[in-house]
């Protein structure tokens, strides 16, 4: 059995989300299923075996409105390009120190 579940974060945070205020938050998605077969077989094959799984994801803010300051203690998230540029600069600095 394959199961796929997708969650797409809204492009713009709304007032009910911690991301609206520049904070990360965990979101949970409870999934339940009834398994009717398998080894060992369930105690009552007609009812099956109930299974519950909770998927927990960390939703982090990606951007803020232009000019709005971050709250104290919150570090801004970097875009993939910014992260790559920082890594390249760090590698260049390390290479310069080895000489």
**Is the separation of the CB atoms in 24 and 59 below 8 Å?**
yes
* H-helix or E-strand spanning residue 83: helix 80-98
Query: In whole angstroms, what is the distance from residue 59 CA to residue 41 CA?
Result: 38
pLDDT 10s digit of each residue in the chain, 99 long?
666 666 666 666 667 777 777 788 888 888 888 888 788 887 887 888 888 989 888 877 765 566 777 777 767 677 778 878 888 988 888 887 765
What pLDDT is attached to residue 63?
57
Enumerate the β-bridge partners of residue 34: 50
Domain ranges of the chain: 18-63+76-98
**Is the separation of the CB atoms in 59 and 74 below 8 Å?**
no
């Amino acid at each position: 059995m394959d199961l796929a579940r997708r969650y797409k974060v809204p492009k713009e945070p709304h007032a009910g989300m911690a991301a609206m205020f520049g904070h990360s938050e965990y979101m949970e998605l409870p999934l339940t299923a009834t398994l009717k077969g398998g080894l060992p077989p369930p105690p009552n094959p007609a009812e099956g075996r109930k299974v519950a799984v909770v998927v927990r994801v960390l939703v982090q803010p990606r951007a803020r409105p232009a000019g709005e300051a971050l709250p104290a203690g919150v570090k801004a998230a970097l875009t993939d390009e910014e992260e790559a540029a920082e890594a390249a600069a760090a590698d260049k600095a390390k290479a310069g120190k080895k000489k």
